[in-house]
């Protein structure tokens, strides 16, 4: 058997974000004798050791914030000039993918995939304008357009959205199957009573995820309900500010900051309700995982309806009305649904990672032979 087809994935770093989690889920489930992943990154990431253990190469170039506009473009051009063997570049940097795939085209990389994982750019006005400018290079330089949802395709590719391949954010369904025993064990570990009602959130501490809303919501709920706890999983630039806010509200004993974790399937067993009031999202992997574990979710109505697996677990509400959220949480607390989920349902909806990985593998091998 010959060497595997090596696909280069472009990301800022391989930390536990939504896109990066999907890439790792795909990597673990693809046939690595046929397709191998390599990574063009700018910073160290938590998944780096696992990538190298699976045979992946990690290349690093300085990011825009360190190298400046021209320095970053020079670094991209130099990289692709020196690594001409790649047949496929798969860029996950949203509108910044424009610069990556333009450099790849100049160097003669035949297959150039731009992948949209979001429905809005992060950052302030100047940053958004800069990313918009980078995004103008996608149309003439990409050979294939991918997105995690139709909403993400429409945002990034606009008139080309209908030609976009939707690659579902699949998960390892079996890992998330509900287990009351695991949930009880973790509650013990964190000093949370069995009868307590636990709200959970998994996400990077960034303005996009709207942690301020979560903490204020909990503060109001805590005045109405007894034995209430909130567990926040993740890290990021706004974490310190949120910890200060919790301290000001004297909620330190009720709100736990767990940082970055690699046991998300187990932590979900500990939650009674998942809350996700993001300002914008592509199609969050964490919401697929939460539904796979039978967890009811209250999410903002700015998140695409495509995330709903039709299991009766998703409740979309406006973040402009906190009282609605309080009412819905109290309503759900009285009658929580069964955590049993039909695995076949998620497979039929196309969110089984084994199916997603097999579909992507076929696409890579087909275009790789062209």
Domain map (residue ranges) of the chain: 5-170+353-368, 173-348
Q: What is the pLDDT of residue 224?
A: 85
Q: What is the pLDDT of residue 122?
A: 82
Average the pLDDT over 268-283 and give the result: 95
pLDDT digits (tens, 9 = 90+) for 77-115: 999 999 999 999 999 999 999 999 999 999 999 999 999
Q: Is pLDDT of 211 > 80?
A: yes
| CA gap 104, 144 in Å, rounded | 13
Choosing among 2.40.160.20, 3.20.20.140, 3.20.20.10, 3.40.50.2000, the CATH entry for 5-170+353-368 is 3.40.50.2000
User: 3-state DSSP call for residue 188?
Assistant: helix
Directed axis angle between helix 211-222 and helix 239-248, to 10°?
20
Cα within 13 Å of Cα(142), Cβ side: 28
Q: What is the pLDDT of residue 36?
A: 97
Cross-strand partners of 145: 114
Which own/partner pairs from 299-305 qualify as long-range (CB within 8 Å, at least 24 positions apart)?
Answer: 299/275, 300/210, 300/276, 302/278, 303/276, 303/278, 304/119, 304/149, 304/150, 304/151, 304/152
| CA gap 291, 296 in Å, rounded | 7
Output the six-digit token pair for 236.
């990021």
pLDDT digits (tens, 9 = 90+) for 154-182: 999 998 988 999 999 999 999 999 987 88
Which CATH code fits 173-348? 3.40.50.2000
Strand arrangement of the beta sheet that strand 144-147 belongs to: 58-60, 35-41, 5-10, 88-91, 111-116, 144-147, 165-166
Average the pLDDT over 285-311 and give the result: 95
Q: What is the pLDDT of residue 34?
A: 96
Helix residue ranges, H only, 234-310: 239-248, 264-270, 285-292
Average the pLDDT over 333-358 and give the result: 90
Q: What is the CA radius of gyration of the chain?
A: 21
Environment class of residue 248 by beta-carbon count within 10 Å: exposed (0-12), middle (13-18) or buried (19+)? exposed
Q: What is the pLDDT of residue 343?
A: 85
Cross-strand partners of 98: none
Name every residue whose Cβ is closer than 8 Å to that of residue 161 and which is 6 or more positions away in sequence: 147, 150, 153, 154
Q: What is the pLDDT of residue 369?
A: 72
The whole model's pTM is what? Answer: 0.91
Q: Is pLDDT of 1 > 80?
A: no
Helices and strands (H, E) in the chain, number of each type: 15, 13
Q: What is the pLDDT of residue 181?
A: 84
| Average model confidence (pLDDT) across the chain | 94
DSSP string covering 32-49: TTTEEEEEEESS--TTHH
Q: What is the pLDDT of residue 2?
A: 74
Share of the chain above pLDDT 70, in %: 99
Q: Is pLDDT of 4 > 60?
A: yes
Average the pLDDT over 247-256 and give the result: 95
Tokens 């998620």, residue located: 346
| CA gap 147, 328 in Å, rounded | 31
Q: What is the pLDDT of residue 370?
A: 59
pLDDT digits (tens, 9 = 90+) for 33-88: 999 999 999 999 999 999 999 999 999 999 988 999 999 999 999 999 999 999 99
Output the six-digit token pair for 244.
């200060």
Environment class of residue 253 by beta-carbon count within 10 Å: exposed (0-12), middle (13-18) or buried (19+)? exposed
Q: What is the pLDDT of residue 16?
A: 83
């Amino acid at each position: 058997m010959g060497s595997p087809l090596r696909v280069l994935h472009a990301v800022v770093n391989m930390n536990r974000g939504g896109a990066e989690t999907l890439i790792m889920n795909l990597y673990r489930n693809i046939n690595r004798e046929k397709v191998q992943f390599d990574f063009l990154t700018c910073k160290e990431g938590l998944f780096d050791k696992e990538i190298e253990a699976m045979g992946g190469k990690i290349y690093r170039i300085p990011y825009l914030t360190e190298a400046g506009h021209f320095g970053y473009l020079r670094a991209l051009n130099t990289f692709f000039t020196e690594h001409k063997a790649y047949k496929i570049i798969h860029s996950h940097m949203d509108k910044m993918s424009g610069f990556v795939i333009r450099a790849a085209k100049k160097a003669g990389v035949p297959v150039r995939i731009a992948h949209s994982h979001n429905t809005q750019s992060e950052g302030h006005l100047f940053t958004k304008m800069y990313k918009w400018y980078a995004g103008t290079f996608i149309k003439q330089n990409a050979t294939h357009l991918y997105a995690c949802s139709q909403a993400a395709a429409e945002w990034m590719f606009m008139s080309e959205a209908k030609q976009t391949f939707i690659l579902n954010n699949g998960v390892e369904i079996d890992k998330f199957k509900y287990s009351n025993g695991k949930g009880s064990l973790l509650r013990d570990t964190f000093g949370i009573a069995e009868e307590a009602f636990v709200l959970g959130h998994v996400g990077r501490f960034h303005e996009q995820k709207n942690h301020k809303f979560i903490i204020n919501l909990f503060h109001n709920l805590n005045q109405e309900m007894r034995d209430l706890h909130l567990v926040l999983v993740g890290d990021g630039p706004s974490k310190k500010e949120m910890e200060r806010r919790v301290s000001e509200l004297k909620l330190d004993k009720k709100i736990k900051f767990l940082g970055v974790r690699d046991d998300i399937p187990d932590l979900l067993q500990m939650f009674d309700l998942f809350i996700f009031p993001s300002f914008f999202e592509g199609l969050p992997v964490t919401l697929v995982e939460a539904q796979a574990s039978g967890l009811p979710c209250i999410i903002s109505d700015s998140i695409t309806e495509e995330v709903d697996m039709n299991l009766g677990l998703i409740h979309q509400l406006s973040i402009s009305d906190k009282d609605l959220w309080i009412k819905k949480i109290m309503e759900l607390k009285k009658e929580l649904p069964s955590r049993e989920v039909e695995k076949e349902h998620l497979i039929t909806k196309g969110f089984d990672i084994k199916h997603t990985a097999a579909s992507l593998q076929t696409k890579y091998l087909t275009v790789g032979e062209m």
